Amino acid sequence: MNKTTRRALPALAALAVGTVALTGCASGDSGDGSSDSNEDITLNTLFLDTDVYTPCVTDYIDKFTEETGIKVNIQSEGFSGYHDKLLTTLSSGSDTYDLTMIAYQWTGEFAPFMVPITDKVAADADALGGILPASTDTYVFNGEQYAIPFTAQAETLFYRTDLFEQAGLEPPKTWDDVADIEKFFTNNPDYPGVYGISVKAASSHAQTMFDNRYYGLGGEALGEPGSEMDVTAAAKALQQLKDDATVYSPPGALAATFAEVSAQLAGGTVAMAELMPTTVLGLVDTEGDSNKVFGKIGATTVPGGHGEAGGWGLAVNNTSKHQDAAYELATYLTSEDADLGCYTEYGKPAVQQATYDNDEVKSAWQTEGILDALSSSIGKARGATAAQINGMMDETVSRFLAGQAGSADDAAQEMADRYEELVNQ
């Protein structure tokens, strides 16, 4: 293992066709009534291409083929084109893919093209039994399970333990605490060059930053038909975010992504930052010239206790001619052995409770905070109109931060009105 890490764990580097039911036969059954031996089956898969996911998938698919004889073709796609490529392919009725990796917020949108596996996992105690319930539930739509969680993480607050100890401060529990702490550090001559917080407020992250504050200020989960946005909580969340980004963050926060924010944290210029663990741990948990904070970072839940969830699942496509073999591959890649191996070797966000219970994993400085954040997280909308809702929220929050949507009250009301129209379509 990488011996430069603080706990010997490698850094978590770096996230309409008619429905067909899965058959109950062995993996050699093709799913269309014919039967093939495992050696005659070739699965075609699509996975998100990242420095973390790709080596994990490649390694364990090789092991899967060795153990089962089932061959697997792996296709990978970067995030920017992933959603549209998958939607175009599946909506055409193509049988290009047997198994695909989907973001949880796409569950309702892609449900018409995926096999519901509710009965299958109910009869398979090993499939979901050890996976964190907070992760499993994000792939349920209209009462049906559509995917098995492959990765799971949540927005987590990372903070400078050395600065907090020196200042006699505790990690913030509320957003009022954040306001006090960021004001204390920013422009404080006792902490030269340190900003109170760094916010990834680029349009691609705008909703996530809003959600952290909205949920932490008492807003309920968004996305269920008939639900309403809490305008008061939304206005408070918008104003908190604007202050965080424009007053207490380093310059350029409105265009900052996780890459810039993670680098600022590792560079020692900020006291706090909300980030998905995979986007920052590879920088702060490995010694090197670019890491000024080695051994000086803590992890805890986002203030208010409910940061935005993140995760990807494995779904069987309903045009697949080898649905049972695809399901077998999904359960193999999400098993306890694969989950622990991919966590420790490659930094894949874990989904199995057993991984977090592992003695080596449990002893790592970040584990407790990451698990607490994940267990209390709340997701984005994931219904049939989720893509429209989530896109609307990114756009409205971004306009407000840029001073183009009026006051926080105005922007919150606009967002609530547009949300009501979309969620009830």
pLDDT(87) > 70: yes
Residues 252-300 have pLDDT tens digits of 999 999 999 999 999 999 999 999 999 999 999 989 888 999 999 999 9
pLDDT confidence of residue 8: 37
pLDDT(18) > 70: no
CATH number of the structural domain 156-305+385-423: 3.40.190.10
pLDDT confidence of residue 425: 84
Structure-derived torsion over alpha carbons of residues 182, 294, 212, 362, reported in degrees to the nearest 10: -140
pTM value is: 0.89
Closest CA to 364 of 7, 1, 3: 7
Mean pLDDT over 240-249 rounds to: 98
pLDDT confidence of residue 35: 55
Mean pLDDT over 88-105 rounds to: 95
Which pLDDT band, with edges at 50, 70 and 90, does 16 fall under?
very low
For residues 373 and 223, give the distance between their C-alpha atoms in angstroms, rounded to a whole number.
21
Mean pLDDT over 234-259 rounds to: 97
Which pLDDT band, with edges at 50, 70 and 90, does 37 fall under?
confident
- Report helix, strand or coil for 232: helix
pLDDT(408) > 50: yes
Q: Do the domains spanning 38-153+309-375 and 156-305+385-423 agree at the CATH topology level?
A: yes
pLDDT(134) > 70: yes
Mean pLDDT over 355-373 rounds to: 96
Closest CA to 64 of 376, 356, 422, 328: 328
Which pLDDT band, with edges at 50, 70 and 90, does 21 fall under?
very low
On whether the CB atoms of residues 214 and 408 are closer than 8 A, the answer is no
pLDDT confidence of residue 29: 53
Which pLDDT band, with edges at 50, 70 and 90, does 10 fall under?
very low
Mean pLDDT over 17-44 rounds to: 57
Residues 146-200 have pLDDT tens digits of 999 999 999 999 999 999 999 999 999 999 999 999 999 999 999 999 999 999 9
pLDDT(23) > 60: no
CATH level 2 (architecture), domain 38-153+309-375: 3-Layer(aba) Sandwich (3.40)
pLDDT confidence of residue 337: 97
For residues 171 and 301, give the distance between their C-alpha atoms in angstroms, rounded to a whole number.
9
Mean pLDDT over 66-84 rounds to: 95
pLDDT confidence of residue 34: 45
Q: In the 3-class helix/strand/coil scheme, how is 253-304 assigned residue by residue?
A: HHHCCHHHHHHHHHCCCECEEEECHHHCHHHHCCCCCCCCCCCCEEEEECCC
pLDDT confidence of residue 36: 65
pLDDT(32) > 50: no
Mean pLDDT over 345-360 rounds to: 95
Mean pLDDT (the chain) is: 91
Domains in the chain: boundaries: 38-153+309-375, 156-305+385-423
pLDDT(53) > 80: yes
- Hey, what amino acid is at 359? D
- Report helix, strand or coil for 217: coil
pLDDT confidence of residue 17: 31
Q: What percent of the chain lies above the pLDDT cut of 90?
A: 84
